[in-house]
Each structure stands twice: as C-alpha cells, then as structure tokens.
Amino acid sequence: MPDEPRVPDEPMSDAAPTELAARGTALSLALGFETLTDRACGMRAPFRADLVGDPAGGAIATGVIFALLDQTCGMAISQALRNRAAAENRALGFGGMATLDFRLDHIRAPRPGAAVVGEAECLRITGDVAVVRGWAYEDDPDDPIAAAQAAFMITQAPSASA
C-alpha cells in the first residue's frame, strides 16, 4: 500500500483521496470532526456555537451534517477499496474519488446543543462507481436525524500491474 495517495489523472471533484479522507481534511478539522475508533466509518461533529444553523432552533446546521456524512461516505469507500485490494492480494492502486451526487434527507431536527454522529457504509463498488449510504444521529442509531445516499466515481482505477 503506498504511503501517500496518488494524484488523480483527471480530477473531477472535491472528494479526498483515500488516506486523506481518513485523516481528516482542512474542513473537517476546522469544524472539529473527531474520528470514531469504536466503529468502522464514523465521525462526530461536536456541538459548537459556530456550527449552529437557524439560531431560533439552536441545533447544529443541516450543512454540517452534510459535510459530516460526505466525509464518512468517503471513508467507507476508502475502506471498501482497501478490503478489496487485500482480498485480491494486490497493492492499493488508488488515486482518488469524486462525488457524483449526494442526497440527504432530514428526518427530524437535531436536538439543540447536541453533538451529531455520522456513519456510512459502502454498499457496492461496481466498475468505477461506488454506491454508499450514510446516517446521522445523536446517541441512538435507531433514532436517525438524517439519511444520505450517494454515488462516487473512483477517479483512478487500480492498474493491472499494481
């Protein structure tokens, strides 16, 4: 596995290369996202006054939840690519990924003053397209705040010689 992800030949979007997504981006650091170690692909957005959306509600902004789930979806794909490479006993010849589309349904408002957890799982990688879903909650995964469904393009497929 290479130490540093390679630059995609034809970068199309904004998603981070695999290891970068796991380490955190400038944005996720600026927003204070913490990577969860007790589950596969999870991050927590701590409650902070400057992350509030509508001040009348006092809860974390819907846009923060979008960024949180975008980040965890990227992490889930990175992990799926690593698992696939390991299963096929070859190096991870992976450059990056680009979000094609990302849908977020807001099921209910987050509780005012509460931190939000985002989790994601990669459903399938077919060819160069990864389908992934994510969900957000405060304490109980069975009481979700929001649900995401997204498709990503793998921007540099593993080469046969890798």
Answer yes or no whether residue 49 interacts with another protein by CB under 8 A. Answer: yes
Between 31 and 80, name the residue whose CB sits nearer to another protein.
31
- Stretch of 22-30, 34-42, 82-90, 132-140 contacting another protein, by CB under 8 A: 22-30
Residue 55 as a binder of another protein (CB under 8 A): the answer is yes
CB 92 within 8 A of CB 18: yes
Q: Following CA atoms 73, 83, 158, 15 in sequence, which dihedral angle do they give, to the nearest 10 degrees? A: 10
Kindly tell me which of 1 and 7 has the beta carbon lying closer to another protein: 7
The site map against another protein for 104-123 (x = CB under 8 A) is xxx--x--------------
Three-state SS across 114-154? CCEEEEEEEEEEECCEEEEEEEEECCCCCCCCEEEEEEEEE
Residues that bind another protein (CB under 8 A): 5, 7, 11-17, 20, 25-30, 49-56, 61-64, 66-71, 96, 98-106, 109
